[in-house]
Structure 1
């Protein structure tokens, strides 16, 4: 099982994403105060639908929920899926610690 915390400082929400691989799917649960994210907080994501950004189960669900284009949750869910499938090394994720976006000269 993988657990990821997303600090969405722009919208002031903290989301906890948990998931694990079960056969050919990744079962994901998102604990969130955001009403939009709640609309897709429980997912069974087919492994073969996380690899391409255009035909992507997670991105499709985020669009259906009308998530903002700058929402970090879909990206975090995809990273969780890649960790669970072994497409992203846990050692690399642990070494990185976090991802961030810095607004310079704003």
Structure 2
């Protein structure tokens, strides 16, 4: 199981995302105070539909829920999927500790 926390300081929400490999899918559960993300609260993401950004299950779902283009949750979900599918090494993400966007002179 992979678990990540997304701190969306711009919108003021903290989201907890859990994912686990189940056959050809990654089962994602999200705990979030955001209504849009709550509607995406349980996903069964086909592994092969996470490889391309254009034809992508997670991005399609985010669009259907009218998520903002700067929402960090879809990116976090995709990272969980990559870890669970073995496309992103757990040792690498553990060493990195996280991802961030820092606004300078904004």
Q: Establish whether TM, by shorter chain, passes 0.5.
A: yes
1:15 maps to 15
Q: Deviations over 1:17-62 (max 9, x none)?
A: 0010000000000000000101111000001100000000000000
Q: Where do 4+ consecutive residues of structure 1 move more than 2 Å?
A: none
For the residues of structure 2 that align with 1:32 and 1:100, how far apart are their CA atoms? 19
Superposition RMSD in Å = 0.4
Residue 95 in 1 paired to residue 71 in 2?
no
Structure 2: gaps (5+ residues): none
Deviation at 1:105, TM superposition (A): 1.1
* TM-score, with structure 1 as normaliser: 0.99
2:79 maps to 79
* TM-score, with structure 2 as normaliser: 0.99
2:64 maps to 64
Counterpart secondary structure, 1:16 = strand
